A = this chain, B = another copy of it.
Amino acid sequence: MDAFPDPPEVPLDLAVRIGCKLQYETSAETSMLLNLKPRHDAYQFIADEHSAITPAVPTTEFDDDHNNHVLRLSLHPGLSTIEYDAIVNVPSQSEDFAHLDEPHSPQRLPANLLRYTLPSRYCDSDNLRDFAWQHFGQQRQGIERVQAICNWLNKNIEYRTGSGNAEIAAKDVIGRGYGVCRDFAHCGVALCRTFNLPARYVSGYVPDIACFDPGTPMDFHAYFEVYMGGRWQVFDARFNTPRTGRIRISTGYDASSCAFSTFYGAAELRWFEVWSYQVDPATTRVGDPLDLSKRLCGTPEIRRPGEAPTEMASAA
């Protein structure tokens, strides 16, 4: 007999192409860290990966203290291009199938998860205690409460493109009433922590599977996870509806743990492109040129590999 029921085993029957291309210009040898690579877990199998740094420089890798994969390198002066491209197998089932409503008391949490119950720079739960108890104190501890938090944020915080700001924490976001996905995630994390629910910030890719393409440029997306029932469970106050095919890159206290790049010195970003869309792995390989005509997602229904690509990739 085992502790918690295993998350149900579901087939990873869809393939998502994810990746990014970054170009930086530096005027001197510049050390940097890259945090771009997702890891295998029960719902994301990294089938193919391509990495390139041009011009080539020596790289080493290490795992940071949130178990993110970090590549460490030093760019030569001039223009450098960093490419990461992957095909990841994911389930066609929407992500809430893995939810389990079993909150833990703090006393029973694994010791290494206690840190995710404490305030952090952008998830300043200590500053939100009264607010949280006033708004969510009535809810039952567990998914009901987490969902109430997501609902409140989704309804009361306006999504405002371009309002991102590295100085504001969850309390400020709630105070000003608008933000970007990072801010929604910070608020969700902070409010869960006020109830001693371990919560962590996540940076990942969210393809538009079973959704209309919003027509905006693809980008990384921030959301959060709450630890209940012996597993980390996905929540997203920004979209606030279970998605299909989400792929986690990195996790941590808050956005400060999940920067995709960190520089020791000055670097100008000259190109920034992110992709995340469903493909047929029989016809798309990593390293191929991006070809959105092969995109299988962006429509309300899920298309299987082998089915014809979406005619209208954009909601426009």
Instruction: Give the shortest distance, in Å, between A62 (CB) and chain B (any CB).
Output: 4
| Contact of A60 with B40 at beta-carbon distance under 8 Å, contacts A1-B102, A65-B115 already known | yes
- A60 and B259 CA atoms in complex are apart in Å by 24
In the complex, chain B residues whose CB is within 8 Å of the CB of A316:
none
Instruction: Give the shortest distance, in Å, between A316 (CB) and chain B (any CB).
Output: 35
Task: For A108, give the chain B residue with the smallest CB separation.
Answer: B2
| Contact of A111 with B62 at beta-carbon distance under 8 Å, contacts A126-B166, A230-B3 already known | yes
Interface size on A, residues (CB 8 A): 67
- A120 and B252 CA atoms in complex are apart in Å by 13
Residue interface bits A126-161, CB-to-B below 8 A is 1, else 0: 110000000000000000000000000000000000
**Quick check: A45 and B31 within 8 Å, CB to CB?**
no
**Quick check: B56 and A39 within 8 Å, CB to CB?**
no
**Quick check: A31 and B121 within 8 Å, CB to CB?**
no
Determine which of B39, B48, B60 lies in contact with A287 in the assembled complex, contact meaning CB atoms within 8 Å. Answer: B48
> In this assembly, does A22 line the interface, its C-beta being within 8 Å of a C-beta of chain B?
no
> In this assembly, does A41 line the interface, its C-beta being within 8 Å of a C-beta of chain B?
yes
Residue interface bits A161-175, CB-to-B below 8 A is 1, else 0: 000001100000000
- A105 and B287 CA atoms in complex are apart in Å by 34
Q: For chain A, residues 68 to 111, give those with C-beta under 8 angstroms from any C-beta of chain B.
A: 70-72, 74, 89, 102, 104-108, 111
Chain A residues within CB distance 8 Å of chain B: 1-4, 6, 9, 11-12, 31, 33, 39-43, 45-53, 56-65, 70-72, 74, 89, 102, 104-108, 111-112, 114-115, 117-121, 124, 126-127, 166-167, 196, 230, 256, 262, 264, 285-287
In the complex, chain B residues whose CB is within 8 Å of the CB of A46:
49, 51
Determine which of B52, B196, B264 lies in contact with A117 in the assembled complex, contact meaning CB atoms within 8 Å. Answer: B264
**Quick check: A106 and B47 within 8 Å, CB to CB?**
no
**Quick check: A167 and B127 within 8 Å, CB to CB?**
yes
**Quick check: B196 and A264 within 8 Å, CB to CB?**
yes
Count this chain's copies in the assembly.
4
In the complex, chain B residues whose CB is within 8 Å of the CB of A64:
115
Determine which of B1, B61, B121, B264 lies in contact with A106 in the assembled complex, contact meaning CB atoms within 8 Å. Answer: B264
Determine which of B62, B65, B111, B121 lies in contact with A121 in the assembled complex, contact meaning CB atoms within 8 Å. Answer: B121
Task: For A1, give the chain B residue with the smallest CB separation.
Answer: B102
Task: For A85, give the chain B residue with the smallest CB separation.
Answer: B48
**Quick check: B2 and A114 within 8 Å, CB to CB?**
no
**Quick check: A56 and B45 within 8 Å, CB to CB?**
yes
In the complex, chain B residues whose CB is within 8 Å of the CB of A127:
167
- A119 and B45 CA atoms in complex are apart in Å by 30
**Quick check: B50 and A48 within 8 Å, CB to CB?**
yes
- A199 and B111 CA atoms in complex are apart in Å by 21
**Quick check: A45 and B59 within 8 Å, CB to CB?**
yes
Task: For A122, give the chain B residue with the smallest CB separation.
Answer: B121
- A127 and B169 CA atoms in complex are apart in Å by 14
In the complex, chain B residues whose CB is within 8 Å of the CB of A118:
256, 262
In the complex, chain B residues whose CB is within 8 Å of the CB of A65:
65, 112, 115
Determine which of B58, B111, B114 lies in contact with A42 in the assembled complex, contact meaning CB atoms within 8 Å. Answer: B58
